[in-house]
Amino acid sequence: MKSPGHDIAALEEVLGHVFRDRNFLCQALTHASYARELEAQNASGGLSAVEFDNEQMEFLGDAVLSFVVSQELFRRFPEYQEGELSKLRAHIVSARRLLQPAHELKIGHYLRLGRGEERSGGRNKSALLVNALEAIIAALFLDAGLEVAHRFILRNILEPELAEVQKQGGEKLPVMDYKSALQEAIHASGRAPARYVMVKEEGPDHRKTFTMEAHIPATPAGDDAFVCRSEGSTKKAAEQAAARLAWERLQSLERSSAAKRPAADAEHIEPS
C-alpha cells in the first residue's frame, strides 16, 4: 500500500510514535470507499490486487481499547463493583466520548476516502473518525505491541476522560446510569421496583422543564418507602436526576445500617 508521505510523518508526530511498518497506519486511515475505488481502478488496468481498508483493524483496536481501559479501571478503583466498572468503561469507550480525542488528533485530515465519501463530508463524520481512531490503536498495537498502545490510550483517551468525569462528579467518580444503579440497589434491598411519575411539565416547547418523582417502596423488613423529586430539560434527564437522589439515599441508608451491625452483633456475643 502506498504511503501518503509527509501527512503520515505529521500524524506520527501527533501520535508520538514512528512506525516501523507504515502500512499499518496507512491501512488504519483507509476507508472502505477508498479501497473499493482503488480496486476498481486496478481491475480496469488488468490488475486484481486486493486493497485493505480499516474495518478489521477497527475490530482489533476496539478490543485493545476495551482491554486497556478495563485493566486500568480494575487497578485504579479496587472498591468498585463489577457493575460500576462496566458502566464506567462503557462511558469511556462510547463513540460519543471517543469523538473528542479523534477531533483533537485531527484524524479527519489524514483519512483516505473515496470520492463519494469525500463529497458527502466524510472527514467530519463522527462514525468514520471514531472507527479510524480505533483502527489507529490497532496499528500501534501491531507495529509496537501493547505497551505503546497502552500509553497512547492513557494519554489521549483514559486520562482526559477520567479528569473530566472527576471534575463533574467530585472526588468519587459517579455511576453513569443511575436508573440501572438504583434498580440494582433496590433489588439488593428486597424492595419492589421503583416507579417513576411525571409530576409537572411546564414552559414553552423549546424550553420545557419536566418534574419527575422516583417512588421507592418499603422493604419487607419494614424500612420506610420514600419519594425523590427532581427536574430536567427532558423526561429522561429528570428521571435520571430523581433516580440519582434515590440511589444516593439508599446508599446512605445502607451505610447507616452497616455502621449499626457490629454493635448489634456484639450484644449477642456470649462472655467466655
Residue 150 and residue 197 in one domain: no
Residue 156 and residue 110 in one domain: yes
Domain assignment present for residue 271? The answer is: no
Residue type, 13: E
The CATH number linked to 227 is 3.30.160.20
Q: Which three cell numbers stand for residue 15?
A: 501520535
Domain assignment present for residue 143? The answer is: yes
Residue 125 and residue 185 in one domain: no
Distance CA 15, CA 192 (A): 51
Dihedral-angle region of residue 222 (phi above 0 means left; psi in -120 to 50 means alpha; beta otherwise) = left
Instruction: Name residue, grid cell 457490629.
Output: 262
The number of folded domains in the chain is 2
Is residue 34 a contact partner of residue 53, using CB atoms and an 8 Å limit?
A: yes
Residue type, 207: R
Which residues have a catalytic role annotated?
62, 134
Residue 157 and residue 89 in one domain: yes
Domain assignment present for residue 272? The answer is: no
Cβ within 8 Å of residue 46, ≥6 positions away:
none
Residue 145 and residue 191 in one domain: no
Distance CA 216, CA 80 (A): 24
- pLDDT by residue, tens only, the chain of 272 residues: 443 444 888 899 999 999 999 999 999 999 988 888 887 776 676 655 557 889 999 999 999 999 999 999 998 888 788 888 888 898 899 988 999 999 999 999 999 998 888 888 889 999 999 999 999 999 999 999 999 999 999 999 999 888 877 666 544 555 557 888 888 889 888 899 999 999 999 988 778 889 999 999 998 888 899 999 999 888 888 898 899 899 889 888 877 776 665 544 444 444 33
Domain assignment present for residue 224? The answer is: yes
Q: What pTM value is reported for the model? A: 0.62
Domain-terminating residue out of 169, 202, 217? 169
Task: Please give the residue range of the domain that contains residue 114.
Answer: 6-169
